[in-house]
């Protein structure tokens, strides 16, 4: 059995194997394990995991049915890591959400609990969150407006209109 750097992160961070366990299992990789354990990528993945866990908890607290074991959490991480951080519907990038909030007439009473970062939305509301292919990133406003009422396709059309409104407010293309 082999272990790549990627496998190491999965083992240590998501499957919670101890460093000693890993070293015993892969004695030829002891030096690599030391390097990977101290890498920036390790810290970054841990940060993302904490962030996602917090997000899932928030979603669960607001009534969503969330069942994520370590394996599913890892898949969620892989999805998150490879998904562009823009709203699937209105295209607003996560890094300019803050600019929206700084507009003089912008009101979001739920900020910063919601609106500060992109949210996890299900394209088809009848499929579970654990179905990773069903997930998209959406801004708070699109997610909040879409609810379970609009289909993904319908809301894509509304997203185009919302995008134009953001552009008008921010006076730039998003």
Phi, psi of 141 (to 5 degrees): -70, -45
Part of the chain binding Zn ion (CB under 5 A), chosen from 42-50, 53-61, 109-117, 136-144: 136-144
Residues in the interface with Zn ion (CB under 5 A) total 5
**74 lies in the binding site for Zn ion (CB under 5 A):** no
- Among positions 29, 45, 56, 87, the unique one binding Zn ion when judged by CB under 5 A: 87
CA distance 56 to 70: 13
- Quick one: 72 or 146, whose CB is closer to Zn ion? 146
**142 lies in the binding site for Zn ion (CB under 5 A):** yes
Part of the chain binding Zn ion (CB under 5 A), chosen from 9-17, 32-40, 67-75, 79-87: 79-87
**139 lies in the binding site for Zn ion (CB under 5 A):** yes
- Quick one: 13 or 87, whose CB is closer to Zn ion? 87
- Among positions 9, 89, 129, 155, the unique one binding Zn ion when judged by CB under 5 A: 89
Phi, psi of 112 (to 5 degrees): -95, 5
Residues near Zn ion (CB under 5 A): 87, 89-90, 139, 142
């Amino acid at each position: 059995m082999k272990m790549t750097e990627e496998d190491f992160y999965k083992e240590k961070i998501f499957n919670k194997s101890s460093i000693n366990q890993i070293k015993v299992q892969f004695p030829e990789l002891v030096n690599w394990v030391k390097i990977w354990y101290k890498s920036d990528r390790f810290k970054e993945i841990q940060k993302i995991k904490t962030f996602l866990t917090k997000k899932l908890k928030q979603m669960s607290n607001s009534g969503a049915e969330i069942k994520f074991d370590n394996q599913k959490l890892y898949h969620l991480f892989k999805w998150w890591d490879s998904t562009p951080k823009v709203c699937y519907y209105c295209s607003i990038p996560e890094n300019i959400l803050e600019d929206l909030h700084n507009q003089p007439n912008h009101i979001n009473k739920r900020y910063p609990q919601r609106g500060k970062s992109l949210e996890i939305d299900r394209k088809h509301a009848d499929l579970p969150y654990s179905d990773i292919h069903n997930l998209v990133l959406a801004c708070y406003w699109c997610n909040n407006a879409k609810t379970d009422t609009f289909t993904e396709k319908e809301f894509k059309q509304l997203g185009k209109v919302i995008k134009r409104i953001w552009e008008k407010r921010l006076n730039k293309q998003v």
